[in-house]
Structure 1
Amino acid sequence: MTILIDRHSDQNDAGDEIVEKNQGNGKEEETELVLDAGFEAPHTNSFGRTFRDYDAESERRRGVEEFYRVNHIGQTVDFVRKMREEYEKLNRTEMSIWECCELLNEFIDESDPDLDEPQIEHLLQTAEAIRKDYPDEDWLHLTGLIHDLGKVLLHSSFGELPQWAVVGDTFPVGCAFDESIVHHKYFKENPDYDNPSYNSKYGIYTEGCGLDNVLMSWGHDDYMYLVAKENQTTLPSAGLFIIRYHSFYALHKSEAYKHLMNNEDRENMKWLKVFNKYDLYSKSKVRVNVEEVKPYYLSLTNKVVCIYFKMCFQILYSKLWSMPASLIGVYYIICSIFRPS
């Protein structure tokens, strides 16, 4: 899967405001992206209860708690390293972004107390809510669409991992498990819990080391992050940050682990806060008309392909001097047929 976006946004330090600068006729136009942006978060989830209430009596409560019990026991440093080593090879299968979206029609997230709809519904609900409030931020629309695509790990083509190793809130391993993590009590059965190398505030990390250097519990977030990076995506760093940390609620809700963040992390947190409310509060029983919105998202992915080929031609052109004479002729024939406008 190759994800390329040609728009980048600049960020400033003005509180929670993010300023995008557009060059036009030699002038800079500034547009503030304000966190609320007109989006009104509902008071209750699709079951009529408050969001992320893990104690409320419901049909899903026991299943969700059991999910986190198994998750908190199994997510160890050794397990995460093993999964990263295995999956960073990216040797499972190849498919388009939309094919991945459709693949998720088969799965419901067992860790989610707020929604029991197929995952493609959540992807489109998130992306469409963002698109409504930020119509010009197409990179953010695409991030909304793909942020959970790593859940294909549940599918047999990608290893058919158990849900506890794919979904749910994420957290660092290799240091103490913060008490703000949902169902924290089950960490006591985790082999790393009593390991002196891993159970201190910093563990194997140092202050301000940067979250990119922190091992996160393995799941769809980290996998999609690896897919994007290994495919040399040109999503802005904020897009990658959103993909990897959108389930890291201990950080962006409880402000735990801030001591591990660096300056770039703090800048990108502004974008994650913009994204998070759409990820969480757009969940609804109201279904998105897939066929109605599909052309727009296909146009985004088609745009990606065009940019990819344009980059390939630019690379080829820069290497002409080292090509054998016979290949130069072939190159010009290809360019005459496929040269991007």
Structure 2
Amino acid sequence: MAARKKQESRIDLRHARAALPETAGRLLDDYERHLRLERGLSEHTVRAYLGDVVSLLDFLHGKASTARSAALDGLDVAVLRAWLADQRNQGASRTTLARRSAAVRTFTAWARRTGELETDPGARLVAPRTHRTLPAVLRQGEASDVLEASNAGAEQADPQALRDHAVLELLYAAAVRVSELCGLDIADVDFGSRVLRVLGKGGKERVVPFGVPADRALRAWLDKGRPAMVAAATKADTMALFIGVRGGRLDPRAARRIVHDAVNSVPGAADMGPHGLRHSAATHLLEGGADLRSVQELLGHATLATTQLYTHVTVERLKAIHDRAHPRAR
């Protein structure tokens, strides 16, 4: 069902884009090249940005009483606000409106820099505040139970079980995004220093450490699991760290299934995917005494504000800090 809805949304996007005036189509082509080549954004992010801009341009040209000579003629802050109001009337949530506001602000800033707009109307657009909700996290004991159960399966030396255990250990140890994990090559692993070279959002590279259990799981996968899966595949990816049963690079959807199945095997653990495991790892780091900026570096967040949104400090740690640091705590 979800896959069919995604396919339908892509078809709708193509139809809406094709219905725009030629000048708008050329502008979108230039903006898409900017997003892909200059900013290095993922396919999913590019598609989301373009979808919001197509919606805006469709609204702009659909409301015009006469044909516009240029793609962005008449685009001002009043039109942006009217477009958002129209989205709200169609049932868009506050979170969706905030995301679309951010997308069009990025677009109008680019249009101003490239000379398509004389001024940037998006700079005056105030986005609605979102209801910030944190994803569920595993308790430290639950995370241990997930990994121990996974290790029990890997001890049977089944190639797929060895891979799944290595995936889980690395997601939790390094707190990487699922796209980053699936994009890893064998050459990105430095066993001597126990670090990964990760290519994050916007093509930014960072070095992330991992611990001894993840080291053991990775070595077992590379020594026993991967060769067996390569031998069984018709054609295998020679560079990818993690591969699927057919030999190609592991797909993020398969990685999500691995996490869901593993977490669901532990009674009482909240259902989650790779992002929940990443958030759990960051939370446990903070509980262990890591400072927020170190966690920011590990997660690859551009700003500390993002880290503050996705990591939270438990009441127990706050109380411990208060007891240790406040002069009137005792």
Which TM-score band applies after superposition, normalised by the shorter structure? under 0.3
TM-score (normalised: structure 1): 0.25
* Structure whose residues are more often helix by fraction: 2
TM-score (normalised: structure 2): 0.25
Q: Which has the larger radius of gyration?
A: 2
